[in-house]
Amino acid sequence: MARMHSRKKGKSSSTRPARLEKPVWVELSPGEVENEVVKLARRGHSKSMIGTIMRDSRGVPLVKIVAGRKVSQILESNDIKEPLPEDLSNLVRKALNIRKHLENNHKDLETKKGLNRTESKIYRLIKYYKKKKVLAADFKYDPEKIRTLVAR
């Protein structure tokens, strides 16, 4: 699939493991993996960061293979919920940083265009999440109010 605004085709640098059974060299039990995931989430890590930490420092290729459930399912069963989906909060954070830059550099037209593109992605994503009922139907994107939801 092509990129949204640049007509280029990108490719992710990482590949998923080929096998879907637990490797013999993984020493952690499913319960230990779930406890680690919950502990990392309580420290404030995002779902993707939890997967990366588990892969790089704990030696778990995929949490779903070892634990039997996805990271999001584990967090859901432990009542750990984020106010916004991860991809939306990343885009909002990016838009807030661009707005902060524009306060000091009013004439930076390239950045204004970048803000426009970023906010168009945000609106598109909000529309999708409203349709999937992840966000409330009356959710509105207001940069000043949403700043409190994405405080990091």
Listing DSSP states for 6-59 in one string gives: T--B---S----S--S--TT----HHHHHHHHHHHHHTT--HHHHHHHHHHTS-
The residue type found at 64 is K
pLDDT band per the 50, 70, 90 thresholds, residue 149: confident
pLDDT of residue 106: 93
3 state SS of 2: strand
Measured in degrees and rounded to the nearest 5, phi and psi for residue 2 equal -80, 160
Kindly tell me if the per-residue pLDDT of 1 is higher than 50: no
Confirm if 96 and 147 have CB atoms less than 8 A apart: yes
Average pLDDT of span 92-102: 95
pLDDT band per the 50, 70, 90 thresholds, residue 151: low
3 state SS of 142: coil
Kindly tell me if the per-residue pLDDT of 152 is higher than 60: no
Alpha helices (H) in 43-133, listed in sequence order: 47-56, 63-67, 71-77, 86-104, 109-131
> Which residue bears the tokens 């459930």?
69
Average pLDDT of span 40-60: 92
pLDDT of residue 76: 92
Q: Which two tokens stand for residue 151?
A: 């405080």
Reported pTM: 0.79
Pairwise CA distance, residues 148 & 152, whole Å: 9
